[in-house]
Chain A
Amino acid sequence: MKKSTPERTCSMNPVALYFAYGSLSLKALFAFRIDAVLRTLAVFVREFASVIVVYLILQRFPDLGGWNMNEVLFLFSFLFLTYAIMIALFTGFRDFDMIVNSGKLDLLLIRPRGTMFQLMAYNSDYLATLGHGAVGITLLVWSAQAVGIVWNPARVAFLLLTLVSGVLIQGAIFVAFSCLSLWFGKSGNVFRALYRNSRKIAGYPLSIFPDAVRSIVLYIMPFAFVNYFPAAWLLGKTDGFWPGLPFLSWLIGPLLFALAYVLWRFSLLRYSSTGH
């Protein structure tokens, strides 16, 4: 029996395929329903604890560099919301060391789809999305109301664009970390610690920190563009920074992600040339 070359007409478009992966991910998670619920709850409680810490601190210092408690919680909510979306897309890069060491990366390379696409589609920690998302929405709704933000179309659009950019900034960071793993071997823990601690700094107004600390969240892990500048604009503050910075945030996300993508292509090439 002679075969013709297989038809490729039935190839699924990437978006539909992404959702096909996603629905299987969910199905696999909820195969263990109680476990899934408990783990989501655990993430929620863990993350909410950090909110409570901030709350208690702010009880003692009612004014942090000109920001009151509700304003700081508003600032905080961006971190959770962007992380919730980001982790649904980039779990494969968070767990990248394990994926390489277990040989899973090789399995992705033998599929006729992009490697980054497969990493994004195959691994999705939806429990983290639910946990962080719940904290983020709670904080946003509550604090926005408490500080009295009026949601007109311009502000809603501003918020959405900011979230997209914030997701891309953190996605770029995760992709870049994975690249470093390909270059220097397993190094995830070091970078995760750096990421987490920068995120802690970003929970407070940038204006309260000395220059050295500021430069961490401005240049190394640019969290300032994920939450500080956008939140400040929505609250009508500039804290003495250049007023264009909140809008620069929208550029920084796509730009960093494009850079991370180039680095990723380059690093995969290295993986294939040097082995692991």
Chain B
Amino acid sequence: MAILELTEACKTYRIVQRQDGISGALKNLFVPRYRDIQAVKRISFAIEAGEMVGFIGPNGAGKSTTIKLLTGVLVPTSGRVQVLGLSPFKDRKRYVGRIGVVFGQRTQLWWDLPVSDTFDLLRKIYGVPPQTYRRNLELFDDILGLADFRHQLARQLSLGQRMRADIAAALLHDPELVFLDEPTIGLDIVAKDKIRGFMQHINAERGVTMLLTSHDMQDMERTCQRVIVIDKGALLYDGSVSGLASLSGSRRSLIVDFNVHTRCEPISGTELIQENALRARFSFDRGSMQVHELVSQVAKKYDIADMTIEEPSIESVVKTIFSAQQARL
């Protein structure tokens, strides 16, 4: 049974258009000029209990607005939002006690206090029973390594530690459903991996339903079975991660860094798209060219410092899906 349903949801922001100068400031006050911005356009999807769903799109696609509709911060201009059998906005207080929310760009930790103080306050706000609280703290210490910095001031934490503490803070009260808005933004690979592992653990072991937004394709590939792609407020794709990968095309780039100045020769089946003395970029098709073959060919020929395979970015994926849809029309 679906625990989250979004039906034909629209959200239009009304923005005051600033007018310049002193006369403009006066006009702003008395006869403000408005402009409507459609942030979300007729989006529908449903999520089943226990699912882990990725929600991706480029910046400004409407991800955060959708999360705000689902968490009861905003009411839809039209359409219906129903989560856990409640209307997030109308039943706000009852509803938000059962969900957890992480806004990756903003911390909910008390800046000048140890992390543990914020946790203790959240325990009181949500009325978490003592045994649940203890059990959760132990789990967070274990998997997120929180014990190392739980007694440090929040402002002294690294970004990765802060994010881990924020995620823990959103899970203290055993929410049934968790929304994570950009939980890996700005983090390095190691920190990202830790957070991805933790989200998977919570989802698998506790059956917590999760919806996470990101503009990092890797977040999706590593953690979710299902992805929803939106762009410019409209739904572009809703399906499996592998389906998205096939839609996103099979062209990849291999970036090679050399130890010494090198002139590359063309390699059959690839296209040399960029070259300078210490770096070359080959574009190839993953369907017809095996990655390890290409890598070993290059490694045999040249003195190599480093090699990277570049995955397509969310922007290019969206572009591919979009043009595929245009072609079908």
Do A and B belong to a common assembly? yes
Query: Which of A's residues lie within 8 Å of B, judged by CB?
Result: 1-3, 5-12, 16-17, 20-21, 24, 27-28, 31-32, 102-104, 106-107, 109-114, 184-185, 187, 272-275
B125 and A1 contacting across the interface, CB-CB below 8 Å: no
A27 partner, pick from B65, B98, B117, beta carbons under 8 A: B117
Q: Which residue of A lies closest to B102 (CB)?
A: A110
A24 and B121 contacting across the interface, CB-CB below 8 Å: yes
Q: A3-B206, A31-B112 are in contact. Are A9 and B129 (CB under 8 A)?
A: yes
A64 CB to closest chain B CB (Å) equals 36
B125 partner, pick from A17, A27, A103, A275, beta carbons under 8 A: A17
A114 and B124 contacting across the interface, CB-CB below 8 Å: no
A26 to B230, CA, bound (A): 44
Q: Which residue of B lies closest to A113 (CB)?
A: B125
Residues of A within 8 A of B94 (CB): 112
Question: CB of B127 within 8 A of chain A?
Answer: yes
Task: Identify 8 residue pairs between A and B in the complex whose beta-carbon atoms are under 8 Å apart, listed by A's number.
Answer: A3-B176, A5-B98, A12-B124, A20-B124, A21-B121, A27-B117, A110-B72, A112-B125
Q: Which residue of A lies closest to B130 (CB)?
A: A10
A16 CB to closest chain B CB (Å) equals 8
Residues of A within 8 A of B71 (CB): 109-110
Chain-A contact segment, one of B11-19, B311-319, B321-329: B11-19
B124 and A17 contacting across the interface, CB-CB below 8 Å: yes
Residues of B within 8 A of A20 (CB): 121, 124
A9 and B127 contacting across the interface, CB-CB below 8 Å: yes
Residues of B within 8 A of A16 (CB): 124
B128 and A275 contacting across the interface, CB-CB below 8 Å: no
A10 to B77, CA, bound (A): 36
A233 CB to closest chain B CB (Å) equals 39
Other 4 A-B pairs with CB < 8 A, given A20-B124, A272-B73: A6-B173, A9-B129, A32-B112, A112-B94
A5 to B92, CA, bound (A): 17
Q: Which residue of B lies closest to A30 (CB)?
A: B112
Q: A20-B121, A28-B113, A110-B101 are in contact. Are A275 and B11 (CB under 8 A)?
A: yes
Question: CB of B29 within 8 A of chain A?
Answer: yes
Residues of A within 8 A of B32 (CB): 184
Residues of B within 8 A of A112 (CB): 93-94, 96-97, 125-126
Q: A10-B128, A109-B73, A275-B11 are in contact. Are A1 and B207 (CB under 8 A)?
A: yes
A111 and B127 contacting across the interface, CB-CB below 8 Å: no
Residues of B within 8 A of A1 (CB): 205-207
Residues of A within 8 A of B92 (CB): 109
Question: CB of B237 within 8 A of chain A?
Answer: no
B78 CB to closest chain A CB (Å) equals 11
A273 to B90, CA, bound (A): 12
- For the complex of A and B, list the 6 residue pairs with the smallest distance between their C-beta atoms, beginning with the closest: A11-B127, A112-B97, A275-B13, A28-B112, A10-B127, A12-B124
A106 to B136, CA, bound (A): 25
A107 partner, pick from B77, B108, B121, B173, beta carbons under 8 A: B108
Q: Which residue of B lies closest to A115 (CB)?
A: B92
A177 CB to closest chain B CB (Å) equals 14
B73 and A111 contacting across the interface, CB-CB below 8 Å: no
A71 to B5, CA, bound (A): 66
B121 and A6 contacting across the interface, CB-CB below 8 Å: no
B176 and A107 contacting across the interface, CB-CB below 8 Å: no
B124 CB to closest chain A CB (Å) equals 5
A112 to B103, CA, bound (A): 17
Question: Which of B65, B94, B97 lies at the interface centre, i.e. has the most chain A CB atoms within 10 A of its CB?
Answer: B97
* Interface members, chain B 87-144 (any A CB < 8 Å): 89, 92-94, 96-99, 101, 103, 105-106, 108, 110-113, 117, 121, 124-130, 132
B106 and A107 contacting across the interface, CB-CB below 8 Å: yes
Cβ proximity bits B1-15 to A, threshold 8 Å, 1 near / 0 not: 000000000010110
Q: Which residue of A lies closest to B128 (CB)?
A: A10
A275 and B174 contacting across the interface, CB-CB below 8 Å: no
Q: Which residue of B lies closest to A187 (CB)?
A: B29
Q: Which residue of A lies closest to B101 (CB)?
A: A110
Question: CB of B74 within 8 A of chain A?
Answer: yes
* Interface members, chain B 130-169 (any A CB < 8 Å): 130, 132, 153
A163 CB to closest chain B CB (Å) equals 29
B129 and A7 contacting across the interface, CB-CB below 8 Å: yes
Question: CB of B211 within 8 A of chain A?
Answer: no
A103 and B103 contacting across the interface, CB-CB below 8 Å: yes
B106 and A102 contacting across the interface, CB-CB below 8 Å: yes
Q: Which residue of A lies closest to B77 (CB)?
A: A273
Residues of B within 8 A of A2 (CB): 207
Q: A11-B127, A21-B121 are in contact. Are A272 and B96 (CB under 8 A)?
A: no
A32 to B113, CA, bound (A): 11
A17 to B121, CA, bound (A): 8
Q: A103-B103, A103-B106 are in contact. Are A111 and B205 (CB under 8 A)?
A: no
A6 to B130, CA, bound (A): 12
Residues of B within 8 A of A8 (CB): 97, 127
Q: A102-B106, A111-B125 are in contact. Are A31 and B113 (CB under 8 A)?
A: yes
A9 to B131, CA, bound (A): 13
A60 to B16, CA, bound (A): 51
